[in-house]
Chains A and B, each alone.
Chain A
Amino acid sequence: MKVQNTLTTGTSRRVFTAGAISVVAALALSACGGAAATGPATATATAKPDLKSGGAGTITMWVDAERSPALKDITAKFKADTGIDVKLVVKDFAAVRDDFITQVPTGKGPDLIVGPHDWVGKFVQNGVIAPVELGDKKDAFQESSVKAMTYNGSVYGVPYAVENIALLRNTAIVPDAAKTMDEVIANGKKAVADGKAKFPFLVGMDPKQGDPYHLYPLQSSMGSQVFGKAADGGYDPKQLLIGDAAGVEFAKKLAAWGDKGEKIINSNITGDIAKEKFLAGESPYYLTGPWNVPDVQKKGIKFAVDELPAAGDQPAQPFIGVNGFFISAKSANALATNEFVTNYLTSEAAQDSMYKAGGRPPALKASFDKAASDPVVAAFGKIGATGVPMPAIPEMSAVWADWGATELALIKGQGDPAADWAKMAASIKAKIKG
């Protein structure tokens, strides 16, 4: 409660005059923005066809602190080959997407940005990224990763990592893998009954939004999807399928697994608590991603990476998240940037070093095969191959809040699954319409 001491006597009067000035300021500001935006554009337009000038300038790239060191080698090689500097600007990952959207139109944004594929829809909607033509190199990447980068029929980014969740099993508690969710639940309950564990199953739930991402494989195994597919293979925002009969079945299952049912999924277990309990050996199962594996290994827990259990008669498909590089639509150095992205960042060496820095399974097949000598990477990769890309369409952001809140309420045992699920679908539909 740090008081902002801006309201002192007399402020109220000043405030109203400020309001009156704002109209004038609006004009001044728009003029200011315009002046700033035209800067670099005029600079490039006046470039004369002077063959001798080799001045190539620099490529600016926004990365987060974790990925920045991994790019040092490949940028050094690019500099040696072409004389062009790639300036790595470390940005806060939480804010970088919105900063990119606001800054590209001013002409002051970067040429390149690193991020997950589900940003693409929002980037295209705001006109801030350009398509990338991978040509024959497309086949060198895992199919799922290129598919995720494809939006409205064009590829928008060069993928470098594919991520998805799997089921971790404490082999000291349950030695054998299970295929279905029912078997998983039975094993978990038995372990609890035998006193080997305290929780039959662990998955982290955000106390405010639940976690539809982690629960999606269970949902998809019951035949429920969020969006249908358009003719070109991308998600179609006009086909919202989440409210169909299969979705309602899943909603009923959630209530049955929840706090007032079997207590398989516990609304009070946050991500941190779930991890803590698995590390303490208090549960045989933990539904999570590769990012939590290093800590599990460090703790010395004997574990196996199991395929995602199916709760219905369909395969349990996780969402896959693909990380990649995107080129700004207003890059003043577009050709050099394209050269760097399509011919350097697609190289095995670059993808290898990104894997070494981040531990995320590489998108390039050759690099993935090398990384897959680690059985954990191989197992996660195998599950990822069955997954579906997380929808990148902007309409997806209308889905998360309702989806999460409704799932959380059902897990808590509040409300009627069929009615609430239908209400959620109607609410999402209303938001998409705008």
Chain B
Amino acid sequence: MSETELREDTDPAASSAPDTATTSPGRQARTLRQRRTGPEGVKGTIAKIVLLGLVDALAVYVLIMLFLSQSWLALGVSAAVVLVINWIYLRKGGLPAKYLAPGVLFLLVFQVFVVMFSGYIAFTNYGDGHNSTKDDAIAAIQLTAQKRVPDSPAYKTSVLAKDNSFYLLFTDPQGKVSLGSTDKPLEEVSGAGKDSTGKAKTLDGYQTLNFQEIVANQQSILDITVPVSANPADGTLRTADGSNAYQFKPALKYDAAADTFTDTTTGAVYRDNGKGAFAADNGETLSTGWKIDVGMENFARAFTDPSLRGPLLGVILWTFTFAVASVALTFALGLFLAITFNREDLKGKKVYRILMILPYAFPAFLTGLVWSGILNPEFGWLNQTLLGGASIGWLTDPVLAKISVLVVNLWLGFPYMFLVCTGALQSLPNELDEAARMDGAGPWRVFRSIKLPLLLVSIAPLLISSFAFNFNNFNVIFMLTGGGPRFADTDRDIGATDILITLVYKVAFGQGTGRDYGLASALAIIIFIIVATVSAISFKQTKALEDVNS
């Protein structure tokens, strides 16, 4: 969309100005404005209609799917978004909105939504054991509490219907036939018609359902619980597949009025403990719980958990060291190479440059795995081939592991710096260089006082974003060392090369008895605040840099 409009602005043939012969400054300005807001070229209009049509076609498909799945809120939001997009692009004028709309949309979907969702999760106990709503948890507990009565017979079962209600016809292993439904306890019947396997299938006055009919009414049939006798302690007969039934007895009974579960054998009562689980008086909880809002608890835990607090300081220091050192090293090497390869009289520059960029093309997680093989103390290529069979624990010694991580990250990261520095260097005007030389400055002086400050103006923001990226550089750490070697003084699985984000991952997913999304989100938000603060301060500094030079 933007491309067509740009072309239109620079193409003199598309000019709609009626008369270019009579010129006055005021008139010229008016024609220019007319061209901006006036009717578009045919090509532009076609392109616009096609693109907008594609977007709308997709939108209609999505809206239909949302309608079918009855997601009303999502449907409403999507419909509104589609209308706004159409309005922006179909109306005349409002050029800034046309440029900004796609970016803003993606920003909302991929950034703001994710941040807000993390924000919401951080205030809940969402995680293993607290996976859904309370109703779901109660249903799941009831489902799993149904235990088959020991040594009870297996019944062959047919499903019958009469007056729009369903009945189950049971044949026990001895061939005895009985009928029952939820409000009709099991009762022996006679005169049932049996098939070749001896299973009772028909009964006078009732209609026998075939499998398709059973499936069409499966919810009602699954809900049938036939009391075995007048005594509820004997349990109930239920079928799960419409052809076999077994005698079940709940191990836990739910009392909807009191909102409690009672253990049918021990008599223990489980109550809602306010923490998203049913707990007995002795503190024992039922394994399935539900998601609740816990307020600031996750944030409090991040700072008070003793096994987390101990190694946390070391990890934070190393995270900063890692991020700063990574940026500094990659920038130094990238800049050095960029200057070296920027000499005009160098032959084969293109080949060198392509070789330089290669590491950038590998996925980081793959690189991590490959390097961890190269650095294997006994079988790794580095020790075996380069160092003649030395046995150096590159990834197992705490200090060496830190150095290895930095070196591998340098290898991964310098091509990016090389690229941006090359670009920035080439955009510097040559006259400055010449002028400085005329004034008698040596090459170092030219670099130090002229090129570097000018470079920094354009590259400093990239250095900051590179810092933010390395602060959370999960792939390199996790694939290369997994955070190890492990600290000896904590019972958490935290090691010398762990940075904050790998620590969060381990705490939230790899530890304890399950995943804890709530705590993970809270820790992620804390990291986010740190990175945002550092970046904000750095950007202020960059602004100052710009002012000095302009």
Contact = CB atoms under 8 A, between A and B. Distances in A.
B430 interface: no
Nearest to A17: B112
A431 interface: yes
Contacts of B24: none
A207 B378 CA distance: 12
A129 to B, nearest CB: 9
Contacts of B240: 132-133, 334-335, 338, 342
Interface string A1-40: 1111111110110010011011101101111100111110
B116 A55 contact: no
A336 interface: yes
A1 B409 contact: yes
A419 B46 CA distance: 77
Contacts of A336: 215, 218
Interface in B411-469: 412-413, 416, 461-462, 464-466, 468-469
Contact of A125 (B112, B164, B287, B506): B287
Interface stretch (B54-62, B133-141, B336-344): B133-141
A57 to B, nearest CB: 8
Contacts, number: 270
A199 to B, nearest CB: 11
B465 A4 contact: yes
Given A35-B74, A124-B288, A153-B147, A1 B217 contact: no
Interface stretch (A61-69, A170-178, A299-307, A396-404): A396-404
A53 B136 contact: no
Contact of B212 (A28, A56, A402): A56
A1 B465 CA distance: 11
A126 B246 contact: no
B139 A47 contact: no
B161 A49 contact: yes
Interface stretch (B2-10, B311-319, B511-519): B511-519
A45 interface: yes
A125 B276 CA distance: 13
Interface stretch (A265-273, A290-298, A311-319): A265-273
Given A21-B116, A268-B376, A83 B212 contact: yes
Interface in A394-417: 394-395, 397-398, 401-402, 405, 409, 412, 415
Nearest to B240: A338
A154 interface: yes
Given A26-B123, A127-B141, A394-B513, A342 B241 contact: yes
B413 A1 contact: yes
B144 A124 contact: yes
A398 B470 contact: no
B227 interface: no
Contacts of B288: 124-127
Given A45-B219, A152-B144, A336-B215, A401 B379 contact: no
Contact of A105 (B136, B143, B154): B136
A122 interface: yes
Contacts of B378: 266, 268-269
B465 A335 contact: no
Contacts of B137: 127
Contacts of B377: 268
A1 B469 contact: yes
Contacts of B547: none
Given A39-B71, A336-B218, A405-B493, A133 B246 contact: yes
A31 B71 CA distance: 10
B136 A330 contact: yes
Interface residues of A, dominant DSSP: helix
Contacts of A131: 143-144, 146
B510 interface: yes
Nearest to B486: A405
Interface string B314-340: 000000000000100010000000000
Nearest to B126: A102
A132 B240 CA distance: 8
Given A131-B143, A335-B241, A342-B240, A53 B493 contact: no
A398 B513 contact: yes
A398 B511 contact: yes
B128 A394 contact: yes
A374 interface: no
B361 to A, nearest CB: 10
Interface stretch (A242-250, A384-392, A422-430): A422-430
A82 B214 CA distance: 11
Given A125-B128, A127-B139, A127-B144, 16 more contacts: A1-B326, A7-B468, A25-B113, A39-B69, A50-B217, A54-B212, A56-B212, A56-B215, A57-B215, A98-B515, A126-B288, A133-B244, A207-B376, A336-B215, A397-B513, A430-B307
Interface of A: 1-9, 11-12, 15, 18-19, 21-23, 25-26, 28-32, 35-39, 42-45, 47, 49-57, 82-84, 98, 101-102, 104-105, 108, 122, 124-128, 130-133, 135-136, 152-154, 207-209, 266, 268-270, 272-273, 329-330, 333-336, 338-339, 342-343, 394-395, 397-398, 401-402, 405, 409, 412, 415, 423, 426-427, 430-432, 434
28 contacts: A1-B330, A1-B466, A1-B473, A7-B461, A12-B539, A22-B115, A22-B119, A25-B113, A29-B116, A29-B120, A31-B73, A38-B70, A39-B69, A43-B70, A56-B215, A82-B212, A105-B132, A126-B132, A127-B140, A131-B143, A268-B378, A270-B373, A334-B218, A343-B243, A401-B493, A430-B307, A430-B491, A432-B512
The 8 closest A-B pairs by CB, nearest first: A127-B140, A105-B132, A1-B413, A427-B491, A22-B119, A25-B116, A335-B218, A208-B482
